Chains A and B, each alone.
Chain A
Amino acid sequence: MDGVHDLGGMQNMGAVQLPEPNEPVFHEPWEARIFAIGALCQSRLTGANLDAFRFAIDRTPPDEYLALPYYNRWLRMAETLLTETGVLAPGAIDARVRRRLGERVAEPPAPEPNKPDYKATGPGSLRQVDDPPRFAAGQRVRTVDLQTSGHTRLPRYVRRREGVVDRVQPAMVLPDTNAHFIAENPQHVYSVRFDSTELWGPEAERFTTCVDLYESYLEAV
């Protein structure tokens, strides 16, 4: 999905936020609570996986994504996963807020659970893949023109670009299918090094960027 979360290379973003001296892990109690609820939302509460969790964060409304505190995205993620899997009815949170404020509103009843019928084949995201890696360190590769309204970890700024495989990483579950409970489809992963001029043109600062890309995002040059 070409969403607001895919930020790499956006311009006119203003100055970076400078490190806050002695920054606490959580700034306010609600941030800690939604972090913990969010952590439980994956798998245990909703049957969702890490990639479904990220795709739910990606779908935070863009104005909220940019303007509200970071943990608001976790709140949106929790609400999305809990309603999509039938743990919570749409509108249940707002109705409860109103009741806590003393309003006499009806709360929607808990819906029929709709957890995905899907099981991980192992812990975490690393998997064994029997086929050898298609690409080797030092090889030139090109990223595909991937267009999807679903989840992907191929950022916009490196689509249709040429780079060099810096190193081959362990094989991992493919987020693009796993996030939608279609299949784990594990693939080899490559750290692909791009020259700044390939990404941003001849006037760019001189540097390289390594991006970790799944095998199906790449083709041989």
Chain B
Amino acid sequence: MSSDPSRNGVQPEPSAAPAAPAHTAPPPRALPGGGVSRAHRLVALVVDRPGVLNRVASLMRARNFNIDSLAVSRTDRADISRMTITLHGDDVAVEQAAKQLYRLIDVLKVQDVTSEPTVEHELALVKIRATDSTRAEILKLVEMSRGRAVDVSAEAIIAEVSGPETDVDAFVALVRTYGIKELVRTGAVVMARGAQSIEEALKR
């Protein structure tokens, strides 16, 4: 989280701002945020204590941020959990979300990895309606999407697909015509490419 909160605000230069006569309407002050809304990925390392997930979720709700997905897991360190939060918002709003997360005592580190090169993965299980006439076709599509049929029964196939969110979206759209009986997605997990490590950054 190393950004300048003022970058969204276009401000008059001081030299161009003498006390103007009262009848000239001054330019409106830029509000924080108001920029383009886009998907952001936040990675948060938190102390693994009871209720920490509740704290994060409660904060996001109370501060009016909408979480698209939230994935929580252990890390290599027993006392630390990792959360991957995806949300929509402009850069300033998401930075505000990250700063608010930092205020939680149990949050150790928050990083917005949206603009960094990352590996992003999500896993989905899709239970697709299958008949004798469509089964082969569906299996072919699963294979083409680099997925796996993990359960095949008389009337359905469970396909496992993984990859970036967009790949999963594409697969789901592809098989929707056959009838999706059930769908579960884990939500994205991300990791920055290269040798840098958010976990090692903790050991300052």
Please indicate whether A and B come from the same complex rather than being unrelated chains.
Answer: no
Which A positions have Cβ atoms within 8 angstroms of B?
A: none
